[in-house]
Structure 1
Amino acid sequence: MNDCVLLKIEQGIATITLNRPLQGNAIDLPLAQALLKAVITCDQATEVQCVLLTGSGKLFCAGGDLDAFVAAGNGIPGFLSELAGTLHLAVSRLMRMEKPLVVLVNGAAAGAGMSLSLVGDIVLAEAGSSFTPAYGAIGLSPDGSLSWLLPRLVGLRSAQEIIMLNQRVGADQAKALGLITRVVEAEQLHVEGMAVARSLAAMHVPALGRVRRLLLDTLGTPLETQLEHEARSISMLATHAYVLDKVGAFVAQRTQKNKKELSHG
């Protein structure tokens, strides 16, 4: 794995760390390519039950690497097309993979970094973190799924205001708006993140994968179609040994409890 993205798999949890701390984990083409490779590995590795995404150093991610933009010169349209295209493949995998995703926001998340910070099923942010679209400051439009995610999380009006006025959103406001799951103290961010990841990893991953798919599809799916998707999903999951074992154990426990209550009745 390229050093600008670190991947560690331990006890069913894959931790992906953006690792350009001196550049604020800014996204250049090598980082985007390495991120895509790490995500594909997580998606395909059977031992991975949950994925955790974070950044190294003081920032989660400063967005696109502006030095790389300048270096592209007159070729910047082609460069940005390749950069955004590669990043988008990684974002799509992160959001579509079966495994649940926890994001730990350690500091500022700007531009495409803001996009990445919001793709998790559970998003924990340290108290000093912030979220800024940043695109308006350099005359660009969003990438990395921000224009898709933000209206779904905070509503169209708030999304318009945040993106078009390039508003910086602090951690507490982000929680109030529904951008993130909760705010934690900086020293507890990784501890709480790993606790959440372990809880998810202990669950039935195929079921979590189906939940992810159902929730992603819901806003673009008519009611009856969604009901059909739910029916097919729950009936398919019911064939898994995990479900049969859990249901059997629950019924046996309830039966034993009822017997004890009757014997004392």
Structure 2
Amino acid sequence: MSKSILLKIENKIAYITLNRPEVFNSFNREMAFLLHDTLDACEKNEEVRAIVLTGNGKAFCAGQDLKEVTDPDLNPGFKKILEEHYNPIITRIRNIKKPVIAAVNGVAAGAGANIALACDIVVAHEKVSFIQAFSLIGLVPDSAGTFFLPRLIGFQKALALAMLGDKIGAEEAEKMGMIYKMIPLESFEEDVDKLALKLANMPTKALGMIKELFNKSMTNDLESQLALESKLQIEAAQSEDYKEGVAAFIEKRQPNFKGN
């Protein structure tokens, strides 16, 4: 049985680990489909209230395994790679109504960088680098890199990084707004656990609605966004977590959210 994707669930957190360290966790067809299935399982599992996506070894993910695309017996072709591998991964991450953290533990290049940037919260330790490596081998950014990157850091900066393939360290990535936070290497795993646990104990239904609102804000006009805010706020106000949150505020205690 393949171990290219590892899954551990504890404390209401699903830890998904890309596990092909010998090739810097680059994607082949098998690993892509396993990640699809694992994300689907985490979405359906009511025990899971936060998801952490990370990599094993020195890299987070180096993107596509180029050996696969250059092997005539293995190469699925770029149409299948995009339509069956990466595009479904991006849409799954964005549509899961649970927070998804990218815990970037090493280099994130090409599709690997863009999968990280599609997550809800991106953290990286100080030794990490991000690179839009596509142009360096005559390709264009995929995996929603041309969608998220300019929205995160601005059109001019994003276009330059896509064209030049510059390597960006975690500190610079944080300063330009590409990622949420750089974390010191020595406390990286501990701080990721704390962040994930905080999210897992928050009102999950409301977090899912917040995610939906931010997704729609990418394309909605103001009127449409205001209407969606109203709709989801009314739904949120009917949740058990809202009742618990208000009660805890009045009683001056910590809320005990159940995620519903």
Tell me: CA distance 1:187–1:225, structure 2 relative to 1, closer, same or farther (3 Å). same
Q: Write the distance in 2 (CA, Å) between the matches of 1:189 and 1:250.
A: 32
By how many angstroms is 1:200 displaced? 0.4
Q: Write the distance in 2 (CA, Å) between the matches of 1:187 and 1:22.
A: 23
Say whether 1:54 aligns with 2:65: no
Q: Write the distance in 2 (CA, Å) between the matches of 1:242 and 1:70.
A: 51
Letter aligned with residue 197 of structure 1: A
Determine if contact 1:72/1:79 at 8 Å carries over to the other structure: no
Q: Write the distance in 2 (CA, Å) between the matches of 1:95 and 1:14.
A: 16
Letter aligned with residue 72 of structure 2: A
Letter aligned with residue 135 of structure 1: F
Q: Write the distance in 2 (CA, Å) between the matches of 1:9 and 1:72.
A: 38
Letter aligned with residue 80 of structure 2: E
Alignment of 1:53-132 (within 5 A): 53-72=53-72, 79-85=77-83, 86-132=85-131
TM-score, structure 2 as length reference: 0.92
TM-score, structure 1 as length reference: 0.91
By how many angstroms is 1:165 displaced? 1.2
Alignment of 1:140-219 (within 5 A): 140-219=139-218
Match of 2:43 in 1: 43
| Stretch moving more, 1-10 or 135-144 | 1-10
Output the aligned Cα RMSD.
1.6
Matched residue of 2:86: which SS?
helix
Matched residue of 1:141: which SS?
coil
By how many angstroms is 1:120 displaced? 2.1
Counting aligned pairs with the same residue, the percent is: 35
In structure 1, stretches of 5+ residues that fail to align are: 255-265
Matched residue of 2:223: which SS?
helix
Runs of 4+ in structure 1 off by over 2 angstroms are: 248-254
Q: What per-residue deviation string (whole Å, max 9, x for no partner) do you get for residues 46-102 of structure 1?
A: 1110000000000111111011111037x95x5222222222212211111100011
Determine if contact 1:7/1:14 at 8 Å carries over to the other structure: yes
Higher share in helix: 1
The number of aligned residues is 252
Matched residue of 1:72: which SS?
coil
In structure 2, stretches of 5+ residues that fail to align are: 254-260
Letter aligned with residue 60 of structure 2: F
Matched residue of 1:63: which SS?
coil
Q: What per-residue deviation string (whole Å, max 9, x for no partner) do you get for residues 3-58 of structure 1?
A: 10111111210000000001000111111111111111111111110000000000
Alignment of 1:4-43 (within 5 A): 4-43=4-43
